[in-house]
Amino acid sequence: MAFTNEQLERYSRHIILKEIGAKGQKKLLNGKVLIIGAGGLGSPVALYLAAAGVGTIGIADADVVDLSNLQRQVIHTTADLGRKKVESAAETMRAINPDVTVNPYYQFINSSNIMELIKDYDFIIDGTDNFAAKFLINDACVMAKKPLSHAGIVRFAGQLTTVIPGVSPCYRCIFKNPPPKDAIPTCKEAGVIGAMAGVIGTLQALEAIKFLTGAGELLSGSLLTFDGLEMAFHKIKLPPRGAGCAVCSDNPTITKLIDYDQPVCELKKKD
């Protein structure tokens, strides 16, 4: 595949980089990333991956754009209110970069559809806002051996890690089970700074780009936390994978996907 003059210009700042080059840009154009959640985290991920020329981007979400989303979900605009988030996000990504093929999936993930959703992608982004989805995505990615970027944000705090199944610790190695209902406030109850979604989601996009191109070191094996009030990043080295993990150890006790109950307050009333 040769670059067109337009592509050479569009991706010139990538191609110039020693760590990316023309080869890395081709890897991006051949890359396939699935973003689960078209909200606060998913927005910057989708924007930067589309701009970077990731050739195929899937985006899954079953919500519509709500006025309270616009403070942080920067891929959607006021004109998109009431539209399906995946449609709004797909339109923005296509407008940024016609090189990108966008696959919108207007559905919430669950134990019966997630394996089918992730199977054609190289890298999975967890941009969801609840523990049920985070554990489901983690377990599915471990079982399907799909690399995953996990992230979460609340108030002025954020965290992320990258999971390479079979190699680095998974989300369940760190957090064994979802917390009891109502033990942890959701973003909706606790609030969140919109720019936090930008900081953490952008780091997830960077991990996807590094994974696809092979540039640098991934965040696998470490948990990166960011305190926006103190303006402090901490990189915490994680214990090795597997020992005692219910899903990613060599003798897992979880071998089927689990649909945990999601706290009712998080569910959007559809009617």
Partner 1 sequence: MAEFQIDEKIDITDVKCPITFVKTKVALEEMDEGQILEVHLNGGEPAENVPRSVKEEGHEILDFIDNGDGTFELFIKKVGE
Does residue number 15 form part of the binding site for partner 1 (CB under 8 A)?
Answer: yes
Beta carbon nearer to partner 1, 19 or 66: 19
Q: Enumerate residues 18-57 that contact partner 1 by CB under 8 A.
A: 18, 21-23
CA separation for the pair 78, 69 (Å, rounded):
10
Among 4, 9, 145, 244, binds partner 1 (CB under 8 A): 9
Instruction: Give the DSSP H/E element, type plus range, for residue 137.
Output: helix 131-144
- Residues near partner 1 (CB under 8 A), total: 11
- CB 74 within 8 Å of CB 44: yes
Stretch that binds partner 1, among 15-23, 97-105, 198-206, 223-231 (CB under 8 A): 15-23
Q: How far is the CB of 207 from partner 1 (least distance, A)?
A: 24
- Tell whether residue 215 is a contact of partner 1 (CB under 8 A): no
Measured distance CA(140)–CA(146) in Å, rounded: 8
Task: State the Cα–Cα distance between residues 5 and 88, nearest whole angstrom.
Answer: 29
Bridge partners of 161, per DSSP, are: 150
Q: Residue 11 CB, nearest distance to partner 1 (Å)?
A: 8
Which segment (9-17, 33-41, 203-211, 213-221) binds partner 1 by CB under 8 A? Answer: 9-17
Question: Do strands 222-227 and 232-237 pair parallel, antiparallel, or not at all (unpaired)?
Answer: antiparallel
Q: Which is nearer to partner 1, 25 or 168 (CB)?
A: 25
Contact between 16 and partner 1 per CB under 8 A: yes
Which residues, 6 or more positions from 42, have their beta carbon under 8 angstroms from its beta carbon?
35, 36, 59, 61, 73, 75, 89, 125, 127, 201
Where on the chain is the footprint of partner 1 (CB under 8 A)?
A: 3, 8-9, 12-13, 15-16, 18, 21-23
